[in-house]
Structure 1
């Protein structure tokens, strides 16, 4: 029997054309690849324009102006979003916005490398009329800047209205004007038992001339703390002389083996951890990813070119009497019963010869055989019938059947 269902002939037109299917596949593959790439690099694509005090912000308290200025002057600034990137000789600028910000990784990894911590000063609120902008709400509470390095370093600090005069510098380049108002460090709490001994030393580099420290070196290593961020933020970069002094100050802090300046934003909520998905699109794994993509593309092309459109399978058993006879003969041949059909074939020839030669209808079996033997010819019908009945294999059966066929032909002439 057939394993193909009997059904009406299918329509010539397909549901979708080949070009339509190819276009759908191309759009689907491109969309899937785009989703993977965006998922891997989504943290890097965040603009950071939330009005905060960090290197991505273009608000008045942000540092995007300093980053752009460093870029324009060939100082190779870069945005750092992971603590794994702290392992560099470049000057690292960390701008925590709250006292509870975790800066332990920077303190641990940057013990002998130049690092500048800029303390928070302003309390800001997002500007509803201008996305990415922020408005002053006033000075931040002193517990916030004091808490940035606490308890390892516990400062005493002060905020007051300044006259805007020139700040005093000690061994550092540049000329800075005092912000209005100004935020300064007045000392270190030496009674703090949890304070690190190596950070009990406080060296003024820029001060207000009244005992307040604006920029200090902590300990004997390259750890610097800027008490007032207005010397480096977008507010301070509006003055050309202040901007020049800021770049000169960063160059002085940077180490001799530095290639640029690193601005950390991981402490501002824009960090990300290492992603296995991102590794697929970066060297050295990028070569493997491209090889897999090319292999899949070649496999797809090979599949389309080799097989083409699908074809309906032919029926295992065809329609019609001839197909039925052929199938029956095939079954008999596979069963090995061909030799046993000789007697039946001879009986069929006898019935046919009786009608063809006009034998009387009353004659049956032996009487009919005698009548056929009486017909003139070289061979007797009964001898041929016995030979067909006695056939033991396919070849002997074929010879007997051929002899019966020839006997019938001779009698017809």
Structure 2
């Protein structure tokens, strides 16, 4: 390799920078998108579940109908104003569930969908072909926390499971202007409570969907249930709690039917009570919660402005680093290789002499820094003191003596040797100098005096 040539071409340096930046951005992307997040297609009964017991179809249906739909993976977002749809599993914590419901009812309505089915991933049965997340339903049970919602024994759950080998007859339902049949009559879950007003019932008056009539002002829900609403001035200011006891009305299993899909939309519309707000499906109770990482927070207010400033600064630094990468250019311009030097008739040793190595390089860089910082005018006094101390040491004068006495002694010595006694005047002129040319001229004058005395 030539001593005067660059070991890297601009293309190689650019390729290294691009590849490094791409790898860094890929790492940031994986961090921001949650590459280590739990698998959402786990066969669970939640808004990301694509099995029979999941609610992915419900979420997609609302999105296609113009609702702003999101999935909550961070518990802090449970306090955002929205229609909150909770799909807790059978093993959820009743106390925590009640806290979330009561807190959110100050911000927006809550729809609580109760679980019912036991589900087994189809992948566990090798004789069946399926997609990831599909399940097989093999039994039903009511959640243990069902009777603890609101207060103990407020919402009494019932689960009808006909016994016998014969297939049970279809179970019909009606409400909110629609009617139809449940997809599976083998297990029907309903609420048996006088404090809940029915919205959807079976022919036997079993409440499949109802809302808690707790003294709030819910005109649309009351009209759908056929009851008079409370006086607005005397009613509480809480949003409604709607309970869907029979999940087959709104889960993926149920939304295969048009009437049940229209019913699901009507339940959401009635729960909103005419308000316009987003719809949020909770995933935290289903074990799919995640905390916001630092990268996500960096691109949200109020940190977004600082992040943009940092990115702009990083781009400027990267561009300057790229432009300055490689060996330094000599005084005569960019470095040249042996062939270029020979072709130009330039001696290689002479070209290498343009580089400052060791102490000289350190002094050159220091001088460049001082000049760039516009502090050149501060060098006069230190340089005058440096020359004065060197001469005093050479003459055997006491170090640290008074400046005027020392400079007077130097002038006296100059006069005895027949030289012009101008050290004190030149030193003072150097201390007062401001421009670079005057500084150099006065410094050279002191240096010349030092040389004359050393002869």
The separation in 2 between residues aligned to 1:238 and 1:284, in whole angstroms, is: 44
Asked if the contact 2:6/2:326 (under 8 Å) is kept, the reply is no
Q: Once the two structures are superposed, what CA deviation does each residue of 1:184-222 show, in whole Å capped at 9, x if it has no partner?
A: 23535xxxxxxxxxxx82322222233532112224241
Asked if the contact 2:13/2:322 (under 8 Å) is kept, the reply is no
Q: Please give the root-mean-square deviation of Cα atoms over the aligned residues, in Å.
A: 3.8
Asked if the contact 1:90/1:257 (under 8 Å) is kept, the reply is no
Unpaired segments ≥5 residues, structure 1: 1-8, 189-199, 319-333, 341-389, 402-413
The separation in 1 between residues aligned to 2:309 and 2:195, in whole angstroms, is: 57
Q: Once the two structures are superposed, what CA deviation does each residue of 1:13-49 show, in whole Å capped at 9, x if it has no partner?
A: 5554343233223322332233234313317976622
Instruction: Describe the shift of the 1:24–1:147 C-alpha distance in structure 2 as closer, same or farther (beyond 3 A).
Output: farther
Asked if the contact 1:91/1:255 (under 8 Å) is kept, the reply is no
- Paired positions, count: 314
Q: Once the two structures are superposed, what CA deviation does each residue of 1:134-181 show, in whole Å capped at 9, x if it has no partner?
A: 332422333446367386445242232452242143xx3322423422
The separation in 1 between residues aligned to 2:9 and 2:75, in whole angstroms, is: 53
Instruction: Describe the shift of the 1:268–1:315 C-alpha distance in structure 2 as closer, same or farther (beyond 3 A).
Output: closer
Bigger radius of gyration:
1
Residue matched to 1:226: 244
Instruction: Describe the shift of the 1:270–1:316 C-alpha distance in structure 2 as closer, same or farther (beyond 3 A).
Output: closer
Instruction: Describe the shift of the 1:61–1:23 C-alpha distance in structure 2 as closer, same or farther (beyond 3 A).
Output: same
Normalising by structure 1, we get a TM-score of 0.64
Q: What does 1:213-362 align with in structure 2 at a 5 Å threshold?
A: 213-220=207-214, 221=216, 222-305=240-323, 309-310=327-328, 313-314=355-356
Residue matched to 2:119: 124
The separation in 1 between residues aligned to 2:49 and 2:62, in whole angstroms, is: 15
Please state how far the C-alpha of 1:55 moved relative to its aligned partner: 1.0
The separation in 2 between residues aligned to 1:240 and 1:186, in whole angstroms, is: 24
Instruction: Describe the shift of the 1:314–1:187 C-alpha distance in structure 2 as closer, same or farther (beyond 3 A).
Output: same
Residue matched to 1:373: none
Instruction: Describe the shift of the 1:103–1:15 C-alpha distance in structure 2 as closer, same or farther (beyond 3 A).
Output: farther
Asked if the contact 1:123/1:137 (under 8 Å) is kept, the reply is yes
Residue matched to 2:434: none
Instruction: Describe the shift of the 1:145–1:158 C-alpha distance in structure 2 as closer, same or farther (beyond 3 A).
Output: farther
The alignment partner of 1:233 has SS state of: coil
The separation in 1 between residues aligned to 2:151 and 2:70, in whole angstroms, is: 30
Asked if the contact 1:100/1:147 (under 8 Å) is kept, the reply is no
Normalising by structure 2, we get a TM-score of 0.59
Please state how far the C-alpha of 1:317 moved relative to its aligned partner: 9.5
The alignment partner of 2:210 has SS state of: strand
Q: Once the two structures are superposed, what CA deviation does each residue of 1:106-140 show, in whole Å capped at 9, x if it has no partner?
A: 21222353211111111111222534233324223
The separation in 1 between residues aligned to 2:79 and 2:19, in whole angstroms, is: 41
The separation in 2 between residues aligned to 1:316 and 1:116, in whole angstroms, is: 76
Q: Once the two structures are superposed, what CA deviation does each residue of 1:338-371 show, in whole Å capped at 9, x if it has no partner?
A: x99xxxxxxxxxxxxxxxxxxxxxxxxxxxxxxx
Instruction: Describe the shift of the 1:20–1:307 C-alpha distance in structure 2 as closer, same or farther (beyond 3 A).
Output: closer
